[in-house]
Amino acid sequence: MIKRSDTNYSISILRKRLFAVSMAITFLFCVLCGRFLYVQVIWSEELGYRALDQWTREIPIVAQRGMITDRNGVVLAENRTAYTVYARSNAVTDKEKTAFLLADALSLDGQTTYEKLTKKKASEITVAKRVEKEKIANLATLSLDGVYYSRDNIRQYPKNDALCQVLGFTSSDNVGTTGLEKYYDGYLSGKNGEVLHETDLIGIDIEGSVATYLPAEDGYHIELTIDYGIQEIAESALQRAVATYSPVSAECIVLDVNTFEVLALANYPSYDLNDVPRNDSEALNRLSRNRLICDIYEPGSTFKIITSAANVEESLRGNAKAFSTNYVFSSSRTRAVDGTTVKCWSNHANGKHSNQTLAEALNNSCNPCFTDIALSLGKEKFYEYLSAFGFGKKTGIDFSGEAYGLLMPQTAVRACDLARIGFGQTIAVTGIQLACATAAAVNGGYYYTPRLVKRIYANDGYEVLKTEKKLQNRTISKEASDVLAKMLEGVVRDGSGKKAYIEGYKVGGKTGTAQKFENGHIAAGKYVSSFVGFFPANAPKYLALVVVDEPQGAYYGSVVAAPIAGEVFQGIIDLKHIKPYENEI
């Protein structure tokens, strides 16, 4: 006799089993539905491409890479039409004959071409790239089965080595590799299209099939802030200096003081962008580096502009630790700081550098005066100005690989370090940092983000991007800036910057001569000569920084670098037809 409790237990077990089975069936159903949804919705596009690839032959349509021009429309980078030749092995009826006909038409090795055509793994091969139009015309007359070609582009630089470190170059596949070609590759490259031909399983065209055309989307064009006329002037001035002093390298940047647009950026040595030394990686890296943005150097006395700016501003604010413009510094040529002796470049014989004001100290480039200023302002206050002027950080210029410079952490700075920073030692800067800092010191105190690109636009003129000047911060007041600019005008008129002076024009600036360090020690006989200047000094517009590394025969910035800047300014005056200030109404 079966008990009622046993019956209930059996029914309970049966229900649990039925529930488990139904849950398993439901789970499997959900998995199948999920897989169906994935295949039909999520994976459908990829599967469609795979099917299309099996049943079609694609002839790529290469997008035109965007042009690069200067601000006035001068073409700096463009394209030259070429072709890429392909072959679909299964569709080639006579491989040996085709291989040698291709080789003859395209100046290739016949045996190598034949081996490509007979490879079992590749259904389609690239026979040759960057084929000139004349060779394609010869190839077309042969009517070879399974052989076709598509238009390609070769990047071409009409100005050869001009702006080579700025523009950069592209790879063999027309992808930006260095410089602005790399930084703005997403805008320049465009999107390739293709022509699709229906084929059978072995790749032979199906008779009567209609080709599908997917157009390419050309890249956008880029207009730079560069003025090629000024660029030519800067490059010519550098070339003459290089011929005279045979330096390791030389650079010049011209900046619009009121917008921080880069008007010219020249580096020596350079290389031809149409003949890039791709087989020598060491030489290529050395020649393609944009040293004014990517490398650092000790600025020397050009940095005294920043120390002076901080002092003048603090003096106008009533800071008792700052020196007024009328203050007379002592005639001592040495000062001991933390056991380190700070010397002036002059021995102060015959009353030189005796009892001088700040303006005279700038004229004479007397180190102890600027040591006094840095130590008097103190580490905390001086570092506030160093930060405001952008040292120890990137300027934000639209270029890859910008260096931060080298600024000691404030907590690690000793009095002797602060003293040396005051006259441009124990600190390293990039050229773009110093140019921007100087511009912000003389333009009323406005520090903007420097830039190389003015706008990006499409073939129809539609502007994708238009850059505007972007204020980062204020450095000093307009009153302090005007005082400083007047002092720096005196440096060019009466002091160490005389060789940048131009009769009838107000030019301001500061020279620099810094000894180089190697392995922690001063490198005997090795100097960096520099000059940073601007004009008109009473209403600054153009700023030029010149840096010459290891000049031979002479090394003072006043002798080597200042004349280069003077030549650049004179060239700009002639190019822009700028009248002398005496004739201004």
**14 DSSP 8-state letter:** H
pLDDT digits (tens, 9 = 90+) for 202-231: 455 555 555 566 777 899 999 999 999 999
Between CA 173 and CA 175 the distance in angstroms is 6
Q: How many domains does the chain have?
A: 1
Between CA 269 and CA 468 the distance in angstroms is 32
Global confidence as pTM? 0.84
**428 DSSP 8-state letter:** B
Predicted local confidence at residue 148, as pLDDT: 78
Q: Is 37 part of a structural domain of the chain?
A: no
- Helix/strand/coil for 523: strand
Residue ranges making up the domain that contains 546 = 228-458+468-583
Which pairing describes strands 68-69 and 221-224: parallel, antiparallel, or unpaired?
parallel
Q: Is 487 part of a structural domain of the chain?
A: yes
- Helix/strand/coil for 464: strand
What is the CATH classification number for the domain harbouring 497?
Answer: 3.40.710.10
Q: Is 4 part of a structural domain of the chain?
A: no
Catalytic residue, chosen from 270, 301, 481, 558, is: 301
Residue 68, CB-side half-sphere exposure with 13 Å CA sphere: 33
Q: Is 129 part of a structural domain of the chain?
A: no
- Helix/strand/coil for 381: helix
What is the 3-state secondary structure of 80-148?
A: EEEEEEEEEHHHCCCHHHHHHHHHHHHCCCHHHHHHHHCCCCCCEEEEEEEECHHHHHHHHCCCCCCEE
Contact in structure between 300 and 294 (CB atoms under 8 Å): no
- Helix/strand/coil for 313: helix
Residue with tokens 């003025």: 227
Between CA 21 and CA 31 the distance in angstroms is 15
Q: What share of the chain is helix, strand, coil (3-state, %, to 5)?
A: 40, 25, 35
Predicted local confidence at residue 584, as pLDDT: 46
Would you list the DSSP string of 158-213?
TTTTTTHHHH--B-TTS-B-SHHHHHTHHHHS-B-EEEEEEB-TTSPBPTT---EE
Residues, the chain: 585
Q: Is 570 part of a structural domain of the chain?
A: yes
Q: Is residue 301 among the annotated active site residues?
A: yes
- Helix extents (H) in 317-414: 358-364, 367-377, 379-388
Q: Is 416 part of a structural domain of the chain?
A: yes
Contact in structure between 261 and 225 (CB atoms under 8 Å): yes
Tens-level pLDDT at each residue, the chain (585 residues):
545 556 666 777 777 777 777 788 888 888 787 777 776 766 666 655 555 555 455 667 778 899 999 999 999 999 988 888 888 777 788 888 888 888 888 888 888 888 888 876 666 788 888 888 888 888 888 888 878 777 788 899 999 999 999 999 999 888 999 999 999 999 999 887 766 655 554 455 555 555 566 777 899 999 999 999 999 999 999 999 999 999 999 999 999 999 999 999 999 999 999 999 998 889 999 999 999 999 999 999 999 999 999 999 999 999 999 999 999 988 665 666 776 777 666 665 555 656 899 999 999 998 999 999 999 999 999 999 999 999 999 999 999 999 999 999 999 999 999 999 999 999 999 999 999 999 999 999 999 999 999 999 999 999 999 999 999 999 999 999 999 999 999 999 999 999 999 999 999 999 999 988 877 777 888 999 999 999 999 999 999 999 999 999 999 999 999 999 999 999 999 999 999 986 543
Contact in structure between 85 and 239 (CB atoms under 8 Å): no
Q: Is 220 part of a structural domain of the chain?
A: no
46: enclosing H helix or E strand: helix 44-55
Predicted local confidence at residue 478, as pLDDT: 98
Q: Is 205 part of a structural domain of the chain?
A: no
Predicted local confidence at residue 585, as pLDDT: 39
